[in-house]
Structure 1
Amino acid sequence: MAVALRGPGWHAPFEPVPPVARTQPVTAEEVEREAAAALTAFTALTASVLSVCAAEPPARLKSGGVGARELSRPGKAAPCDETDVPQLAHAADTGQVITIAYDPASGGHSVRSISELAVDPAWLRTWCHLRDDERVFTLPRIASVMPASPL
């Protein structure tokens, strides 16, 4: 209707104003504390989803995949959001490489690229690409987790 009344070149007046982003300075210690808390929550979530799936594996569709209903079952049984389950299932199925920053008991700091994760509430059994061998990492000593570094 507006085009018919005002002509083909007419456009409603619009001058967007970007929102003001509020920022707050944080210390490195606060970032480390939040990263450790996020890792602990992620590990607990992963362990609970894997234990639910180990007790009763999701049924496969005729096409070989897992349906949305089957993915929602571990999400309901484990204390997590349904959107987390497909991501965890993908990471477990693909053996996706991730990078961790680790503080070993012997001291120092180590960054490792790892894959083939098996999570327990207290440790992480995995393949370490730096050592080219299986390693077990104590969860409280993992300082941060990030996507794999490009080679």
Structure 2
Amino acid sequence: MEFNFITAAGDPEVRIILTYKVKNFRLTIYKISEFFSRWSHATGCIRFANDIAYTTGTELSEHNKRDIAASAMILVARMHDLIPKIGVKVMSLVGMIKLVILLFIVVTGWVVLGGGIKRILDPGAGFHIAITGLINNAIPYAMVL
């Protein structure tokens, strides 16, 4: 994408939408194939399907999880293609919701660690056994960072 270096806030989809004002179905097919070829997007959508199954309390087969993941990928690609302005606004709203949740977690963590909640006897108990050999590799720690 030679026009992909146009500066804009957001990920490459936002820059592509800003660059290509006319609907381009070849670009949509390219983006869908990119979603299916990259594992980062596919695993995120499969995690989304796992979260849906966990929330509803149902047990889904691997095939059903992949169906939900493919539907999510196609929905996002179609939304960015057919209604790009609304798609960008929805993605911005999702980002803002994530930011609010992150700030809530950080602030409540500070309150608990600072001793603001008296029911918790040892607020730092979770840090006492952080590295005790329960995990054999550094991958979970790297994912947290």
| TM-score (norm: length of structure 1) | 0.27
- Answer 1 or 2: higher relative contact order, Cα 8 Å, separation at least 6: 1
Name whichever structure is richer in helix by fraction.
2
Name whichever structure is richer in strand by fraction.
1
| TM-score (norm: length of structure 2) | 0.28
